[in-house]
Structure 1
């Protein structure tokens, strides 16, 4: 059923169906996967994920924490190096079993389409609602414990991202043709917002073309900044070095729409340059690229990917395309997920 009577300007709501919860991931068709497989010539694979305890501490985001690994229990006994002979004499098995508590968006991760919604009058009645991609509603489809537009009214469980959860992207497999844009090769660690004109100059200089259904991958060099910091990054380092996309540039946002990219990922914290270079005067999005991609187009965003080794290899080989395999965890209701991504060239 259609959940809106009006959609945001520039949105594609309804174009993949009234109940669609995948957005432009629908463009990862069998044909696109075959194009990606055709890029495999050497059989060489690259891990595109940081260790999940990077960046370290909570320097990039005070609400996200490193994973905490603990051992499981067998009654009162820790299940680490646990000999089953304690239960059944004569058995020679020794078992290790553990568990982890983690922030799903702490390290290399995908944002689901539930990560960023907006206040928007989707009913056309002059009253804003909290809505997400394709008109999915807060409190009905994406549920938290409070209704912030109704006096912080407490809501009963269940809570979670519902149909827009990260498990939808996991079921879609997130495999396709990656297209690497090496911003670091042109800007180094210079702190600069990359708008439409700058991005087009890089694409032209490197002979890179982007086609509908491709996964756009942006190397800024921030991954190596984090690795060099060895889990102890300075507070605010993400605002001091490396590039990001200028979400305040309407021409750049229009290019993302016109390009037909299925997803965008980067090795930096947010894909987009923060704080926004030209924040809106009055009403507007603090995260304009997130709003455009997640809320309007259904384009998932991947952050803190490990791209530099791959980028160096591709540049040396005179290539920029590869097979990308990057499914998130199939965790129902989650807003984001770690990912162990692989590039094969």
Structure 2
């Protein structure tokens, strides 16, 4: 399977499209992007090799974890529980931004900024039904719910690794985690990277966030622009991601160093260029502790994005199974 994808140096595939695009690789109407790498055979092999003890670990932060102060100006989670008298029955209504807690960024979230195009050339007009163009659900998150995001997951515990290295980490300052560092983390953990893996990076964000007071969170939230440590914007990082993974995410709110340190954002290339899901705000604390305890950083990952036609993002509903 790995030899069936173009080399990173072969990108862009569509010469008329933006930089590093892989448009047309799976057909002009494809909405799965790199999830096409999760073939039945790869998922079957992952299940057979990774599920050994039956231990299951939740990877979703609570939907209300950020309370009423989520970053990026997003709406807070609201829950209303109400009785339906005269019966002893309750219903509830949830109202929330799909990116205010753990999330998969979908293919409608972040387009190429200069070219104003989403995956496979989709436009804002197609999404919103503007300028005489018929509104559609193209690139909606529901396309991912059909088979889910399911396969071999690996945790690269950068947070644990950098502590051993004696390196400082400033989650709320712009900083870059390099591809070379992530490869070294994998080597030191003894974790083999396999084609089609679902990558999760424990950057240390959740640990840092848990130590902030509400006043500190509010001060940080009000910064303009917001600043976070994340993976670097570089050819090395793009090649590492493109060559190996079906999806990539971490515990931090921007995945990549924020604001971007280049004239492009990884979000553009990963989402709009390749159709690669980006996971953010995954709760990896229990997973990291378990991986360390059993000296194993690979597992079977199952995630079912919400079946919302035309949706932009979704809670992952994710479990790591050992």
- Specify the TM-score bucket, using the shorter chain as the normaliser: 0.7 to 0.9
Aligned-residue CA RMSD (Å):
2.5
Determine the C-alpha separation between the residues in 1 that align with 2:92 and 2:214: 23
Counterpart selection for 1:205 from 163, 180, 188:
188
- In structure 2, the residue matched to 1:221 is 204
Specify whether residues 167 and 32 from structure 1 end up closer, same or farther in structure 2 by C-alpha distance, changes over 3 A only.
Answer: same
Q: Which runs of 5+ in 1 are unaligned?
A: 72-78, 85-93, 121-127, 148-154
What is the deviation of 1:5? 6.9
Counterpart selection for 1:31 from 41, 61, 80:
41
What is the deviation of 1:83? 2.6
- In structure 1, the residue matched to 2:242 is 257
Specify whether residues 229 and 42 from structure 1 end up closer, same or farther in structure 2 by C-alpha distance, changes over 3 A only.
Answer: farther
- In structure 2, the residue matched to 1:299 is 276
- In structure 2, the residue matched to 1:196 is 179
What is the deviation of 1:333? 1.3
Please tell me whether the aligned partners of residues 108 and 338 of structure 1 are also in contact (alpha carbons under 8 angstroms): yes
Please tell me whether the aligned partners of residues 113 and 133 of structure 1 are also in contact (alpha carbons under 8 angstroms): yes
Counterpart selection for 1:45 from 50, 56, 78:
56
- In structure 2, the residue matched to 1:83 is 86
- In structure 2, the residue matched to 1:152 is none
The residue correspondences of 1:1-345 to structure 2 (distance < 5 A) are 6-38=16-48, 39-62=50-73, 64-71=74-81, 79-80=82-83, 82-84=85-87, 94-119=88-113, 128=115, 130-140=116-126, 142-143=127-128, 158=135, 162-188=137-163, 190-191=169-170, 192-229=175-212, 233-236=217-220, 243-247=229-233, 249-259=234-244, 261-276=245-260, 278-280=261-263, 285=264, 288-345=265-322
Determine the C-alpha separation between the residues in 2 that align with 1:299 and 1:325: 16
What is the deviation of 1:303? 0.6
Determine the C-alpha separation between the residues in 2 that align with 1:205 and 1:344: 22
Determine the C-alpha separation between the residues in 2 that align with 1:156 and 1:295: 20
Q: Paired residues, what number?
A: 296
Q: Which has the larger radius of gyration?
A: 1
What is the deviation of 1:222? 1.6
Please tell me whether the aligned partners of residues 182 and 219 of structure 1 are also in contact (alpha carbons under 8 angstroms): yes
Q: Report SS of the residue matched to 2:153.
A: strand
What is the deviation of 1:230? 7.9
Q: Report SS of the residue matched to 2:61.
A: coil
Specify whether residues 228 and 35 from structure 1 end up closer, same or farther in structure 2 by C-alpha distance, changes over 3 A only.
Answer: farther
Please tell me whether the aligned partners of residues 113 and 165 of structure 1 are also in contact (alpha carbons under 8 angstroms): yes
Determine the C-alpha separation between the residues in 2 that align with 1:316 and 1:256: 27
What is the deviation of 1:229? 4.6
